Chains A and B, each alone.
Chain A
Amino acid sequence: MKADRVSGFFWLAVGLIAIYGSVRLGIGTLQEPASGLVPFLAGCFVSLMAIIVLLRSFLRGPDLQVKLSGLWEDVSWWRPVVIGFLLLVYILAFEKIGFLSTSSLVLFLMFKCVETLSWSKSALVSVLTSAFSYLLLRVLLKTTLPKGIFGF
């Protein structure tokens, strides 16, 4: 599958959904434009550009196009996936478990699992970073940070 074909179909879908949503909102008239006018025009424009990308991907020779799998060749694709997953866990646990505990744990996992730093270095950097940012945000800047189930 060609990369441009996949992205073209995706943005065409986005454009069409925007057109549908803006028609439901109401476009109004040119004399009295309503809330849906600008999203409608933007949706039409995105769809038109996506059709051009798609047409080019169908008309252009296969040698001139990048394959979908080619985008992740010769790179460690699993690293952004693991980091993205850890960030998602961080966001979900942030308010429930609390700032200090979640931050220390997720930073430790990143240092240890993604970058394979030593146990001691991973623990030291993650705890120090969390503590320093707690002091900066909570104590100095008076930012409200979640305490979570442990109360800190």
Chain B
Amino acid sequence: MDFFSNLIPGFSIALQPINLIFCFVGVFVGTLIGVLPGIGPVGTIALLLPITFGIPPATAIIMLAGIYYGAQYGGSTTSILVNIPGEASSIVTCFDGYQMALQGRAGPALGIAAFGSFIAGTLSVIGLQTIAGPLVSIALSFGPPEYFSLMILGLIILTYLTQKSMVKALMMAGVGILLGTIGLDTMTGVPRFAFNIPELLDGLGLVPIAMGLFGISEVFLNVEKVIQQSLVTTKITHLLPNFKEWMESKWAIARGTVIGFFFGILPGGGALLSSFVSYSVEKRLSKNPEKFGHGAIEGVAGPESANNSAASGAFIPLLTLGIPANVVMAILLGALMIHGITPGPLLLKEHPDLFWGVIASMYVGNVMLLVLNLPLIGLWVKVLRVPYSILFPLILFFCLVGAYSLNNSTVDMALMLFFGVTGYLMRKFEYEPAPLLLAFVLTPIFEQALRQSLVLSEGSFTIFLVRPISVGFLIIAALLLITSSFSVLRKKISGEAVD
């Protein structure tokens, strides 16, 4: 009963004309940037953040969320037709999607990617709606020690799931905390590391850092190598998969949905990891694993379902606990705060319109995406013909102008360029920027929780160990660190190169 009683007011928000328009703009822009390689949802959401300042918060979040899950749909088109992932989460779709396209089966590959995404996206929104309420009830009992331990766990999970070195990822989380402390201390009013620069007293802006680390650095990395675009030129027909293709894909879609949903909730898990896990699971369970890599439709259906499911699952920790599971959610957290809304357990109580409106808009957005990605596939193919040589100066230009429009200050532009160069060098030296940005966003909550806990316990760190939920989080974090260390040691003993 609760399920529907919450949805009805949610739909009354989501179906308002202004929200429908912004939802459409979000999923359209999301699909567009998903199709275009080299531009991701992080940079785009950061770029469009300033234009949401003048619209109601629910409308703003509906649009920004649409960009995120829309990008997961669009990424598959580029993977299938060009063999270049439009999004990182569509890398595995290249393996079998492009092979299907070469065999003249681009239509069914695009079709199953869109239908799988739609089914998974819709089912995971149902999951989000079901889990969010009970989780909020639990989160309401959290005090500063629980929040501190939860954030430690979140950062450890993020670094544990990192693609490269865990030590480097942990270090970047430390650097993120350092950057997060720049500006006035909110508890004492003391300026920290501002070097008498007035613009730094309010702290570093999220948008210049996010666009620099992810947008500008991505362009720098792309322009130093030649991108070969080999667009499949055959006519795209049979977008609706046939009965046999549906039968081959149905369990891949179901498993991808479940995998994506749970990996989406994990900090750092998200769409990328879930798509890889889904692909491995499908290959392992397949009666014909040799087909994988040569045009197996399950190799497209599973990962594409997983990455869309993960995109919805990632909203759970943000909306219920106020903790972002990935970088996009970190920017959405920033967006909510800019609009004067603090995400967390009280969000549902204080802003039910926003909470249920955003969830309901995801149902609407998924339907819009199905329409955008199937009948309008010809449009996206045309977009794919725009060469990167024209695209990248435009990306840089809009990033810089977007940064300026935040505060009408060239300091933000300079900061963005600085973090662009830093991000480029970090990636060159194999330091991942995601833990840095997530830690940066979490620092104000993290610092407040730590200092309040210490004041409550009169300076004793045992406060984190005597409260059951807090100690539970810390035990899981410690286990992850131990298993990671054992894995490194095992590799070392067996003589493999470790990072």
A43 to chain B: which residues have CB within 8 Å? 174, 178
- Say whether A45 contacts B174, CB under 8 Å: yes
Report yes or no: B174 in contact with A34, Cβ–Cβ below 8 A. Answer: no
Asked if B219 is an interface residue, CB under 8 A from chain A, the answer is yes
A67 CB, nearest partner CB in chain B, Å? 12
Check B390 against A35 for contact (C-beta < 8 Å). Answer: no
- A residues 72-110 near B (Cβ < 8 Å) are 72, 75-77, 79-80, 83-84, 87-88, 90-92, 94-95, 99, 103, 106-107, 110
Chain B residue at minimum C-beta to C-beta distance from A36: B192
Residue B469 interfacial (CB < 8 Å): no
Question: Any chain A CB within 8 A of the CB of B220?
Answer: yes
User: Which residues of chain A have C-beta atoms less than 8 A from B287's C-beta?
Assistant: none
Q: Smallest CB–CB gap between B352 and chain A, Å?
A: 30
Question: How many angstroms between the C-alpha atoms of A149 and B455 in the bound complex?
Answer: 56
Contact A53 B171 (CB under 8 A): yes
Interface mask (B320-348 → A, CB under 8 Å = 1, otherwise 0): 00000000000000000000000000000
Q: Which residues of A contact B421 (CB under 8 A)?
A: 84
Which chain B residues numbered 155 to 201 have a C-beta less than 8 Å away from chain A?
165, 167-168, 170-171, 174-175, 177-178, 181, 185, 187-188, 190, 192-193
With a cutoff of 8 Å between Cβ atoms, the chain A residues found around residue B225 in the complex are 75-76
* Residue contact B459 to A94, C-beta cutoff 8 Å: no
A87 x B400 contact (CB < 8 A): yes
Task: Give the CA-CA distance A137 to B398 in the complex, in Å.
Answer: 11
CA distance A42 to B177 in the complex (A): 6
| Chain A residues with CB under 8 A of B3 | none
Residues of B within 8 A of A111 (CB): 389-390, 393
Q: Is the interface of B mostly helix, strand, loop or mixed?
A: helix
Given A80-B223, A87-B417, is A46 in contact with B171 using a C-beta cutoff of 8 Å? Answer: yes
A91 close to B417 (CB less than 8 A): yes
> Which A residues are in CB contact (< 8 Å) with B50?
143
Which residues of B have CB within 8 Å of A56? 167
A148 interfacial contact with B, CB 8 Å:
no
- Contact of A83 (CB < 8 Å), options: B165, B223, B398, B460: B223
Find residues 445-486 in chain B having any chain A CB closer than 8 Å to their own CB.
446-447, 450-451, 454-455, 458-461
In the complex, chain A residues whose CB is within 8 Å of the CB of B454 = 30-31, 33
Report Cα–Cα, A43/B397, bound state, in Å.
35
Q: With A and B bound together, what is the CA distance between A77 and B404 in angstroms?
A: 28
Measured in the bound complex, the distance between the Cα atoms of B40 and A26 in whole Å is 41
- Please tell me if the beta carbons of B428 and A71 are within 8 angstroms of each other in the complex: yes
Main SS at interface, chain A: helix
- Let me know if A11 and B171 touch, CB within 8 A: yes
**B contact residues around A117 at 8 Å (CB):** 389-390
Contacts of B177 in A (CB 8 A): 38-39, 42, 45
Q: Which residue of A lies closest to B221 (CB)?
A: A80
Q: Does A13 contact B (CB under 8 A)?
A: no
Taken together as a complex, chains A and B put the C-alpha atoms of A21 and B193 apart, in Å, by 7
Q: Is B356 an interface position by the 8 A CB rule?
A: no
B residues less than 8 Å from A145 (CB atoms): 404
Do residues A83 and B219 form an inter-chain contact, with CB atoms below 8 A?
Answer: yes
Q: A42: which B residues are within 8 A, CB to CB?
A: 174-175, 177-178, 181
Q: Indicate whether A114 reaches chain B with its CB closer than 8 angstroms.
A: yes
Q: Are B185 and A35 in contact (CB under 8 A)?
A: yes
Q: Is the CB of A129 within 8 A of B428?
A: no
- Whose C-beta in chain B lies nearest to the C-beta of A99? B401
Take A76-B223, A133-B401 as given contacts and tell me if A39 and B178 are in contact as well, using a CB distance cutoff of 8 Å. yes
Check A107/B393 contact, CB under 8 A, given A31-B458, A94-B410, A143-B405: yes
Contact of A80 among B175, B389, B424, B460 (CB under 8 A): B424
Q: Which of B128-175 contact A (CB under 8 A)?
A: 165, 167-168, 170-171, 174-175
CB of B376 within 8 Å of the partner chain: no
Q: Is the CB of B497 within 8 A of A64?
A: yes
Complex: A6 Cα to B429 Cα, angstroms: 9
B224 on interface, CB distance cutoff 8 Å: yes
Assess the B429–A31 pair: CB atoms within 8 A: no
Q: Which A residues are in CB contact (< 8 Å) with B389? A: 111, 115, 117
Taken together as a complex, chains A and B put the C-alpha atoms of A48 and B255 apart, in Å, by 41
Instruction: Tell me if A49 is interfacial: C-beta within 8 Å of chain B.
Output: yes
Selected contact of B455 from candidates A11, A14, A33, CB within 8 Å? A33
B408 at the interface (CB under 8 A from A): yes
Contact of A11 with B51 at beta-carbon distance under 8 Å, contacts A87-B417, A133-B398 already known: no
Distance (whole angstroms) from the CB of A69 to the closest CB of chain B = 12
**A46 to nearest B CB, angstroms?**
4
Q: Which residues of B contact A120 (CB under 8 A)?
A: none
Decide if A49 touches B190 in the complex (CB within 8 Å).
Answer: no
A77, B451: Cα distance in complex, Å: 45
Report B-chain residues with C-beta under 8 Å of the C-beta of A94: 404, 410, 413
Is A135 close to B, CB under 8 A? Answer: no
Q: In the complex the two chains form, is A39's CB within 8 Å of B193's CB?
A: yes
Please, how many angstroms separate the alpha-carbon atoms of A32 and B451 in the complex?
A: 8
Which of B192, B400, B428 touches A35 (beta carbons < 8 Å)? B192
Interchain nearest-CB distance for A151 vs B (Å) = 18
Residues of B contacting A80 in the complex (Cβ-Cβ under 8 angstroms): 220-221, 223-224, 424
- B414 at the A interface (CB under 8 A): yes
19 pairs of residues in contact across A and B, judged by CB atoms under 8 Å: A14-B178, A25-B192, A33-B450, A37-B450, A38-B451, A39-B181, A46-B174, A76-B223, A83-B223, A84-B417, A91-B413, A92-B410, A99-B401, A114-B223, A114-B393, A115-B390, A129-B394, A143-B50, A143-B408
Report the 7 A-B pairs with minimum CB-CB distance, sorted nearest first. A30-B459, A49-B171, A31-B459, A80-B220, A46-B174, A115-B389, A110-B393
